[in-house]
Amino acid sequence: MSIPSIESGIAKPRNLTRIVVAMSGGVDSSVAAALYVEAGYDVVGITLQLYDSGATPARTGSCCAGQDIHDARRVAAHLGIAHYVLNYEDRFRHEVMDDFADSYLRGETPIPCITCNQTVKFRDLLAAARDLEADALATGHYVRRVIGDSGLEMHRARDAERDQSYFLFATTGEQLEFLRFPLGDIGKSEVRRHAERLGLAVAEKPDSQDICFVPGGDYAAIIEMLRPGAAEPGDIVDLAGAVVGEHAGIIHYTVGQRRGLGIAASEPLYVVAVDAASRRVTVGPKVALLCDRVRLRQQQFIDPEASLQSAGD
């Protein structure tokens, strides 16, 4: 196994180049920190406490609370680097968890990891890194930062199965200037081998699964906790608008869902649409899920010229 070349792209001696690493307590961010230490950089670890692990029960494969903070501390101590834990619970609740609940109540299916990266991590954490006089902020995301002909570009990871570029679509060009992704050219199995080689206690730790603040994957329970009584019952209708059943709240449904409809039919039925205003869930056969257009919002262009061109089109 070869040792990856870790370059910061910063015109300073490595020992004078400070890299702050966002350490979640998992194997990916731990290896990212270790590789920078091994390469001779001045490394500082930061771990965010994002939610109360007492109120949100811990489970295998969660992150950003309880055991994960302990694991990040252990790795930092092993590497001999400074490590800080920042309590961002209030920010995370407001920016991510509240938005998650409200999105479901609007009939949407959010991806809170995107919101977290867009706000708490790549806005507030970048500011904290600058306060620590960092030259760059590194994360354990599987994505590549590439300098192309027209400037900085974000590319998918070499390991297509681990690519996380879709989580980072909201990253701005200014943020990308400051960010580093040392795992973009490394596969997951190789990352675990590096963790073993470097003696990291998290080498065999399971990967994060699902959403960190949703214990057991029960989204509806979290939404009920955040917005008590907001989930009201309504009708389940077919494509013609005829009532075929009732539901206990639209938060239990997402487009494309098949299981849990509680409707007997001659063919499999899927959720085709969720209307928050009328509290109606529309179901139909699989073919009804096909569409020939999509509505986009929150587009983010790293290249300002691409943004102007898109607006013109």
Report d(CA 251, CA 102) in Å as an integer: 10
H or E element, residue 312: helix 304-312
What does each C-alpha distance from 217 to 62, 181, 221, 274 come to in angstroms?
A: 11, 29, 9, 20
Catalytic residue among 63, 64, 116, 291: 116
Q: Which amino acid is at 89?
A: E
State the Rg of the chain over Cα. Answer: 22
Question: Which 3 state secondary structure label does DSSP give 31?
Answer: helix
Task: Answer yes or no: 116 catalytic.
Answer: yes
Catalytic residue among 63, 64, 113, 212: 212
SS3 content of the chain, % helix, strand, coil (to 5): 35, 20, 45
Handedness of CA 243, 249, 254, 259 (dihedral sign): negative
The strand order across the sheet containing 42-49 reads 82-87, 42-49, 18-22, 136-138, 179-180
H or E element, residue 128: helix 126-131
Count of beta carbons in the 10 Å neighbourhood of residue 110: 18
**The residue to which tokens 């060009």 are assigned:** 173
Q: Classify the phi-psi angles of 312: left when phi > 0, otherwise alpha if psi is within -120 to 50, otherwise beta.
A: alpha
Task: Answer yes or no: 63 catalytic.
Answer: no
Specify which residues 20 forms β-bridges with: 44, 137
Structure tokens at 48: 């965010």
Q: Which residues are catalytic?
A: 116, 212
